[in-house]
Structure 1
Amino acid sequence: SVLDAHRHKDMIKGEQIVICGGGLSGCDCALELAMEYGKKPVIVEMMDKLAPKMIMMNRASMQRMLKEQNIEVYTGCRVEKVEDGRVSILDKDNNRSTLRADTVISAFGMRSDNLLADALEKKYGWRVRTVGDCNQIGRVGLAIREGYFAGSTIDE
């Protein structure tokens, strides 16, 4: 997974890395692998553009950096199968391509894990504030605002 790739670099073998998913996490992972570790990541994204929910200015910078790092990007393609060091992908017209992969990273998306927040809210009620990724993953500006408002309502 993309989280494993961030936490355990020793799990990433070889140079040819296929990242399945071109959202914020997948793009960030590709840039980190290329810039800091000299890998050659490829991003496969089912949507027509990368990180469609990303703030426009940030996405423009990210796309520039992906281009500068010569990171291959396949948009409008879905992963069909992964086997024997290869990732088979299909484009919108059902044309099949095969990508060589020493390591495959799943970055298909993430969901909030609210178990702890829900348990705390059940115990402490309205005093519990959830901010950041447990509300909406990847919205940094929103997390900052939520954190500000949570902090401004703390009882003394």
Structure 2
Amino acid sequence: MAKLGLLLLCAVLLHTGYALQCYNCVSTVANKNCDDLAEKDKIAVATCGKTVAPGYAAACIKKVIQDKTTNVQNTTRACILTKSDANARECDAASDRINVVACEICSDDLCNSAEQTHFGIFTLVAAAMAFVAVQRLH
């Protein structure tokens, strides 16, 4: 039984080694599908590495900006390269004409979808608790 718990814990930890996938799109006036991902099958998926260089990591971003002059909002979903040890500057406004309405950076596959629920840390904690519980039984 202890081996089963260890195997479960290893399986949860091993999933971090594969390449990260992110939705990759920019909304336009003519095509707002990137805003709400109503038709996910029509949205491109980009593959980017989990770790690119020491101190940097690939991540997914969903950023909604609004032009202060026209009040037009655009949504961008993409892979980004971000520093692992600092606050992400990717969520800063690019200019004085732009408001950042929303910005999310995440590191799970297709996590830059608005409605997706993330269980990454929860799954890890639950697996660790299950492992400890199995160890106490023996």
> Structure 1 length normalisation: TM-score?
0.26
Structure with the bigger percentage of helix: 1
Structure with the bigger percentage of strand: 2
